[in-house]
Amino acid sequence: MSKRTLPRLLQTPAVILLLIWMLVPLSMTLYFSFIRYVLNNLRRPEWTTPSFSNWRGFGNYEYVLYKAKDFWFAVNNSLFIVCSIIILTVILGLAIAMLVNRTFPGRGIVRVLLISPFFVMPAVNAVLWINMILDPVLGLNGIAVVGINELIAGLRDFPVLGAFFSLWPELTPISFRATQTSAYAVIIMVTWQWTPFAVLIFMTSLQSEDEQQKEAAILDGAGAWSQFRNLTLPHLARPISIVVMIQAILHLSLYAEIEIVSRGNGNKNLPYLIGEFTTNNIGAASAAGIFAVILANIVAIFLLRMVGKSLMD
Amino acid sequence: MAAVTEQSRFGQVIWPVIAWIVALIFFFPIFWMVFTSFKTDADAVKPEHLFFFTPTLENYTNMTENYDYWRFAINSVITSTFATAFSLFVGVPAAYAMSFTPSRHTKDILLWMLSTKMLPAAAVLYPMTFLTKNFLNIYDTHFLVILVLCLVNLPIVIWMLFTYFKEIPKEIIEAGKMDGVSTWGEIKDILIPLAWGGVASTALLCFIFCWNEAYWTVRLTTTDAATLSKLIEGNRAPEGLFFGRLSAVSTAAVGPIVVLGWFCQKQLVQGLTFGAVK
């Protein structure tokens, strides 16, 4: 055996497995997206089995783009959820990473507490937040609002100050079960889970910051804000873009949280819409799936390019 | 200069306090879940028992009859363990070849492997269901879940192992070759002992990702191979009546993994950013 065949042989199983995993289902999706294929249709039973004779060309794509009323809503909602999560996690992550990037008593415990949410499984995360924390009646959300209302009601009995508090309205807890508010609930719970990820990455990166440069800046009289803007932020540019891209890819296919929180209230993102199509209209589901692949690829190309560059270092 | 020291002395007290508060806020939902798991279902929804109640273990002792917890837990353990083992079994030789005898294409292969991780799972949901249900007849089997979990995590496993193996001096491996050690012997007796820490943390991280996986494990199983993700997902609408028992089963589902996670924070950065952040 020559010197080069063995190494190739060793990586073959991994390559073949991933090749099958990537190509077979995806080419089936591509094929289904060009034919009429539904799971139940009494009038046209021939559409219920995939076959080339049911060729529909770009009909499924047209249907998804122009006729399925939820498609653009789902795309917009996906983007809204993903962008909100990214903005929140990056800002919170930066702030917390700066906060923890110093020595103080109990720093190790603080780190452990901060990272914990990341390891909670998505299903538990969603069930915990939507029921026990955000529920407007039984959750902490509802209990806290009732408590505040009672407090204000009590304060109304005081002389002088009471007149001020009687101007305050009775608060009503926000229900996170409506279409729009349940998107907020998803944003809250995913931000809670992924801020630790941003913190961890920014913290790792902050530890490699040039301390001498910083000291020089302090001697030159640079304030905390200008140090942050001119030294720390440029140093973190790369980790920030990595955090943004990884989250963009992962959260574009967010599913468990949406399914658990929405419960058919109309709040959906692209993967959820594909799941809905999959119950009957496979052609449309596949066309929407191809759109999801394109959307993910737009981000993935940038991420891969950046990762590829760091591979050379 | 005086102003600077003054400010930093103030900062020395205030910033750590804020850091502690933020950390406690972030941990609070987990604390609340564990805390509620010791309340009865009736107490859990009564505001007057919000903080003061008689703690009980009944939610944990009744977990089997309420949720059939152990069946799901055992499925999670089996699938995550075997998927991790299988990923390493396929990943270690591949990463070994890539890091010690790289070719022109190694970088492209690595990047291509990562790109498989970026395909949205929803796009191939129906083909996967179709293939496994009607064609291969492996829907809702442990084998399928293990295979899918392995494939989903294989890119990360190979990537992490690759970054660890790259740190090992080539000469050590070469010396082994000179002494006529077989390839398998090189991996088993030289590479793995040297990169033991890296292999262990890769395995740990892979196990955590398998355990928490919530798309395929829910979509490709019904009962036989259903994991804890499926169990929790199935109880998403308790309508407030069962907060106590739901908290207990959730705590049991995430507890071990959160604790494991504490031990591999550092590797997490490498594993999730594909070595792009150091």
Strands annotated E in chain A: none
List the domain boundaries for chain B. 70-229+259-273
The answer to whether B218 contacts A256, with C-beta atoms less than 8 Å apart, is yes
Among A222-236, A279-293, B152-166, the minimum mean pLDDT is found in: A222-236
CATH number of the domain at B70-229+259-273, please? 1.10.3720.10
- Residue B206 makes CB contacts below 8 A (sequence gap 6+) with B83, B84, B87, B88, B153, B156, B157
> Which amino acid makes up residue B139?
Y
Partner A, chain B 108-167, Cβ-Cβ below 8 Å:
109-111, 113-116, 118-131, 150-151, 154-155, 158
pLDDT average, residue stretch A143-170: 81
User: Residue A88's pLDDT band (boundaries 50, 70, 90)?
Assistant: very high
User: Residue A4's pLDDT band (boundaries 50, 70, 90)?
Assistant: low
Burial of B32 (0-12, 13-18, 19+ CB in 10 A): middle
Q: What is the pTM of this model?
A: 0.89
**What pLDDT score does A313 carry?**
57
User: In chain B, which residues have their Cβ closer than 8 Å to the Cβ of A26?
Assistant: 119, 123-124, 127
Average pLDDT of chain A to the nearest whole number: 85
DSSP letter assigned to residue A221: T
Percentage of chain A exceeding pLDDT 90: 23
What ipTM was reported for this prediction? 0.87
Percentage of chain B exceeding pLDDT 70: 93
Planar angle of CA B143, B113, B98, nearest 5 degrees: 105
Please write the tens of the pLDDT for every residue from B203-260. 988 999 999 998 899 889 988 889 999 988 887 765 556 888 889 999 999 998 998 8
| A155 reaches B (C-beta below 8 A) | no
**What pLDDT score does A97 carry?**
92
User: In chain B, which residues have their Cβ closer than 8 Å to the Cβ of A16?
Assistant: none
**What pLDDT score does A189 carry?**
93
- Residue A191 makes CB contacts below 8 A (sequence gap 6+) with A84, A85, A88, A89, A92
Burial of B205 (0-12, 13-18, 19+ CB in 10 A): buried
Question: Which of A184-188, A257-261, B10-14 is modeled with the greatest confidence?
Answer: A184-188
| B34 reaches A (C-beta below 8 A) | no
**What pLDDT score does A298 carry?**
86
Distance CA A243, CA A93 (A): 10
Q: Are A270 and A252 in contact (CB under 8 A)?
A: yes
**What pLDDT score does B84 carry?**
96
Please write the tens of the pLDDT for every residue from B171-189. 887 777 777 777 777 787 8
Burial of B50 (0-12, 13-18, 19+ CB in 10 A): middle
Three-state SS for B140? coil
Tokens, residue A160: 């002088």
Distance CA A280, CA A276 (A): 8
pLDDT average, residue stretch A254-276: 85
Structural domains present in chain A: 59-120+181-313 (1.10.3720.10)
